[in-house]
Amino acid sequence: MAASTTAPPSTETFWTDAERHLVRYGGEFTREIIDRAAGSFLFTADGRKILDFTSGQMSAILGHSHPAIVATVQRQVATLDHLYSGMLSRPVVDLARRLADTLPAPLEKALLLTTGAESNEAAIRMAKLVTGRHEIVSFARSWHGMTQAAASATYSAGRKGYGPAAPGNFAIPVPNVYRPDFTAADGSLDWRRQLDFAFDLIDAQSTGSLAACLVEPILSSGGIIEPPAGYFAALRDKCRERGMLLILDEAQTGLCRTGTWYAFERDGVVPDILTLSKTLGAGLPLAAVVTSAEIEQEAYERGFLFFTTHVADPLVAAVGNTVLDVLTGDRLDERARSLGAFLRQGLSDIAGRHEVVGDIRGRGLLAGLELVVDRETKQSSDELGARITRRCLQLGLHMNIVQLPGMGGVFRIAPPLTATEDELELGLTILDEAIGNACAVL
């Protein structure tokens, strides 16, 4: 059959069709038609080149169209792409084994799924079944997904207007060092007192059915907030005292993003259940739940059920194996540490030139820059963040800003682990200019 010679619809027709036929699922669409992507860059239909400082949806850790990923997809889709959910293939078993090899004991049993919400849904379901309880504790600025149990454990957005959440979901305050709520004599965050207070409230509200605590090692949608050293060990102890399982959601922090294979390594705390997504598929829909043989056995004996259409699909499992190949072969954990230090210094230099930069935080190639209109009061401005974001895009840089009540606009900066210093320097230069332009009209 001859290839179609029909010209693509005009830009005006494209946006007319989009507005007429697409369901809007959160915020406004970026007014660019993306034609292709390669490495650290997006290319628009009208010829613009945009540096991608979010790795797509915080997922494309190997950049766009990485040659090894392209080759794997082409090879695998031509041989074995999808199976009945009860059938197994070599890529699936290989990926489960290799994931276990990257993790500390006793994490060795994996369930391969598609999205972060799905992996959190499965982890919560498993925790409830194994403990025989139903109550779930999460951070007050959490994001774990938009399916029922995951959405019920999500507090940063999307709760109003949908009726009752799953029963037994509780929020605890975020240990935000930059904006402390419980303070020591020197004004610093007294996170131990905050954590004690949080669980006093949890205990007061619980019906005695606490099943699990589901948290991110670094809150991303919550504004790149990293709890202080020692926090997760204390949180684990709170869970142990109550017979709860600790579930860590490393959708954005796992697989070398923070400079180590997993963010929880810093704290020396091993979760009972680990959820992975985003970075595992490097932009393709692949997620995992990893737990111990003991928990998996208990879940199995109690009839754990999580059949999905694309559970254990060979195509994306093959991609996951290639992601592990590249991460290991190119030592991208080391690269994330060195590039992260370069990025952090560049952001600090920007902070030195612009008073609206209130805080720089994060780890490795997951960085946050919080904007304020007054460093002393830490007063925020939604308009300032939106203005800088728009100007960055005009100048050729895609940025994502988190704007939640009670904090300033926080840029989430997560370039691919394959980015070069020159590309990071370009992004920093554009961001510097965009902040200067926005501040000039304040």
For the entire predicted model, the pTM comes to 0.96
Contacts of 114 (CB under 8 A, 6+ apart): 285, 286, 287, 308, 310, 313, 316
Q: Within a domain: residue 256?
A: yes
Q: Which candidate in 52, 135, 141, 252 is catalytic?
A: 252
Distance CA 31, CA 19 (A): 12
Range of the domain at 309: 70-329
Question: The CATH number of the domain where 356 resides is what?
Answer: 3.90.1150.10
Q: How would you write the pLDDT of the chain (442 residues) with one tens digit per residue?
A: 555 557 788 999 999 999 999 999 988 899 999 999 999 999 999 999 999 999 999 999 999 999 999 999 999 999 999 999 999 999 999 999 999 999 999 999 999 999 999 999 999 999 999 999 999 999 999 999 999 999 999 999 999 999 999 999 999 999 999 999 999 999 999 999 999 999 999 999 999 999 999 999 999 999 999 999 999 999 999 999 999 999 999 999 999 999 999 999 999 999 999 999 999 999 999 999 999 999 999 999 999 999 999 999 999 999 999 999 999 999 999 999 999 999 999 999 999 999 999 999 999 999 999 999 999 999 988 889 999 999 999 999 999 998 777 666 999 999 999 999 999 999 999 999 999 999 987 6
385 and 276 assigned to the same domain = no
Contact 118, 287 (CB under 8 A): yes
Q: Within a domain: residue 15?
A: no
Distance CA 111, CA 287 (A): 8
Q: Within a domain: residue 225?
A: yes
Q: Which residue among 329, 361, 378 closes a domain?
A: 329
147 and 200 assigned to the same domain = yes
Residue 359 a catalytic site member: no
Q: For residue 112, give the nearest of 90, 145, 80 by alpha carbon.
A: 90
Q: Which candidate in 109, 141, 236, 278 is catalytic?
A: 278
Q: Within a domain: residue 1?
A: no
Q: Within a domain: residue 22?
A: no
Distance CA 97, CA 253 (A): 21
The alpha helices in 269-331, defined as continuous H runs, are 293-301, 314-329
Q: Within a domain: residue 376?
A: yes
Q: Which residue among 264, 299, 329 closes a domain?
A: 329
53 and 120 assigned to the same domain = no
Residue 379 a catalytic site member: no
Q: Which candidate in 249, 296, 359, 370 is catalytic?
A: 249
236 and 210 assigned to the same domain = yes
Residue 191 a catalytic site member: no
Q: Which candidate in 118, 133, 135, 143 is catalytic?
A: 143
Residue 252 a catalytic site member: yes
Q: Which candidate in 52, 118, 190, 216 is catalytic?
A: 216
Question: The CATH number of the domain where 324 resides is what?
Answer: 3.40.640.10
Q: Which residue among 301, 329, 357 closes a domain?
A: 329
Burial, 187: exposed, middle or buried (Cβ in 10 Å; 0-12, 13-18, 19+)? exposed
308 and 375 assigned to the same domain = no
